[in-house]
Amino acid sequence: MLLFAQKFARICKHASQTEPPPTACPTCRPQENVSVPAFPPKDFPRIGRYPYSIAESPPVGRLPSREAGKKEIELAPQTLTVLLIEDNPDFARIVQQWLSQSSAEVEYVLNWTDSLAESRRRLASGNVSVILLDLNLPDSEGDSTFTAVRSLAPEIPVIILSAGDDVAMALRLIQEGADNYLVKSNCSAEALTRAIRYAVVKHGSNTRRQPTEEPLDQATVVAVIGGKGGVGATTVACALASELRRRTGEAVLLADFDMHTGLVAFLMAVDSEYSIMDAVSNSARLDRSLWQRIVVQSEDGVDVVCSPSMASPIDPLPEKLCQVLAAIKPFYRWIVLDLGRLNSGAPRILEAADELVVITTTGIPALYETKRAIETLRTAGVGDRIRLTVNRMEPLEACSPKELRSIFGIEVSTVLPSSSRELHEACVQKKVPGRNSAFSKEMGKLVQAIGGPHEVELRKPTLAERFRRNLKSPAQLAEK
C-alpha cells in the first residue's frame, strides 16, 4: 500500500501536467481569446454596505448604511473640547465666535478660564482635547505659564495665543513642547481651527483621552487565511480572537476582510450598522471616536468590524485596507484578520501581518490548493511567518504529521480535532466553543504559537462588565 504522501505526490504531478502554473492568485487561470465585459456596467445597482466606488468617497459627515436599501446615515461631527486660558473677555468672545462657525466635520465645545488656578481645577476633571493658552495671566506670566500648564496636562496639545510677535519666544516654546504659536492680531477663524485640528491629529488626543489613560502597545496582527474554501478559516479566526481575549483580557479586534461571505458577524452573533468599507471610505479622518462607531463588541468582549452583508461589486484596494490597519493598530493589543481565501490583493495585506495562520483540512482538494497557496506565499516573501493549522473536517487516519510535513515542507503548528458536534452546537447558540471543549483546548496551542500566554490567565470581570451582564439577566429570565 502506498503511503498517503506518495499518493498525494502522484495526484499533484498529474495535476501539474494538466493545469497551468498558479499566478499571483492561486485560484486564477490565464485565459486566451476570451472577451470579458466591463464590470460593473454603468447601470449596475450598488447594493449592500458599500454604495461607493473606490474612486469615490461618501459625502463628508456621512457613512453609508450596512444594509441594502437603507438611506445614508448622518455621522455626528467629531467633538473637540477646547480649553481657553485667557484673561481678556473680549478676545474670549472672539474665539467663541470663531469656533462656533458651522462645520460638517468638527464641533467645538469651548471652556473658558481666566487664570492658571481656574485652569488647574478644570484640567483635573479631564475631557479636554486641546488647550489655547495666553501666557500673561493674573497669577502667572511668560514662559512659566506654559511650563505650569504643560506639567498639569503633558498629553494635551497646547497652542500659544500671544499678543506679541516674539520670534525667539515662539521658537523656544515650540522646542519645549508647544504645538503652535499664534499672534492674536494676525489670527483668524480659519488659522485657529486649522491649528487646533493639526495639533489634535499630531497628539492623537481627539479621543478625549483622560489624563490617567495609558496608551496601548502596538498590536500584534495575525492574519488567518484558508488554503481552500470551506476549510473553516472563519471559524478558526473567530475562535482565535475569542481565545486571545479570554486568556489575556487585552484589547482584541476581529476584522472581517473577506468581502464575499460576511460570516464573521454571523458566527460572533453581532450586528453592526457599518462595515470595513465605511472605514476605508473615511480613512482620511479615521480616529478612535469614529472607529468606535464602526466596530461592535461581541458578548465575550472582542471588537468586531464586519465585512459587507452583501458581496461588494468592487473589492477595496489593498493599500486602502493597509491604511486603515495602520490607523487602528494603536487601539489594540491583538488584531485578527479573516482574509478568506488567497487572492491577488492578499500578499500586500500580509506584509502588515506579524503572524500568518494558514488553514487546511486533510481532504485531497484542500491539501492540493493549500500547497499551491503556501508556494505563492513563499514567493511573496512571507513564508517564514506561516503557522500551518490542520482542521480535521475530513479526518484521514493515514495522513500523519510527518507526511503533512513532507507535503508542505513546513511543520504543522496546530491540529484541530474533528469537533463537528461542538461546532454545530456553538453555531446554533451563536457563540464560540466553550473553554473546556476539545476544540478550544487545541486552539490554545495556536494561541501559544503566535506568542500568546501558555496558560489561561483567569481575569476577574470589571465592574462595567458585571453591570452589562446584569442588564441582560431580566431578558434571559423572561425567555425562560
Q: Among candidates 391, 400, 366, 388, which has minimal Cα distance to 450?
A: 388
The pLDDT confidence band at residue 253, using thresholds 50, 70 and 90, is very high
Q: Per-residue pLDDT averaged across 207-226, rounded? A: 64
Residue type, 318: P
Q: What is the DSSP letter of 183?
A: E
16-33 tens-digit pLDDT:
555 554 444 444 444 444
Place 174 in a pLDDT band, splitting at 50, 70 and 90: confident
Confidence of residue 44 (pLDDT cuts 50, 70, 90): very low
The whole-number pLDDT of residue 286 equals 82
**What average pLDDT does range 313-317 have in this prediction?**
67
How confident is the model at residue 235, as a pLDDT? 87
| Whole-Å CA distances, 246 to 301, 354, 432 | 9, 21, 12
> Comparing 157 with 435, which gets the higher pLDDT?
157
Residue 95 is predicted with a pLDDT of: 92
Distance of CA 101 to the CA centre of its chain: 33
pLDDT score at 379: 87
Average pLDDT, integer, range 349-371? 89
Kindly list the distances between the CA atom of residue 102 and the CA atoms of 75, 97, 334, 477, in Å, as whole numbers in the listed order: 15, 10, 38, 48
Q: How far apart are CA 277 and CA 63, in angstroms?
A: 9
pLDDT digits (tens, 9 = 90+) for 126-160: 888 899 999 999 999 888 999 999 988 888 999 99
Closest CA to 187 of 167, 206, 164: 164
The residue with greater pLDDT, 252 or 395, is 252
Predicted model pTM:
0.56
| Helix residue ranges, H only, 249-363 | 263-267, 276-281, 288-294, 318-328, 346-350
**Which structural domains are found in the chain, ordered by start?**
78-203 (3.40.50.2300), 220-459 (3.40.50.300)
Instruction: Provide CB contacts within 8 A for 77, sequence distance 6+.
Output: 61, 103, 104, 105, 106, 107
Average pLDDT over residues 454-469: 51
233-248 and 438-449 are packed helices; what angle lies between their axes, rounded to 10 degrees?
A: 80
pLDDT for position 130: 92
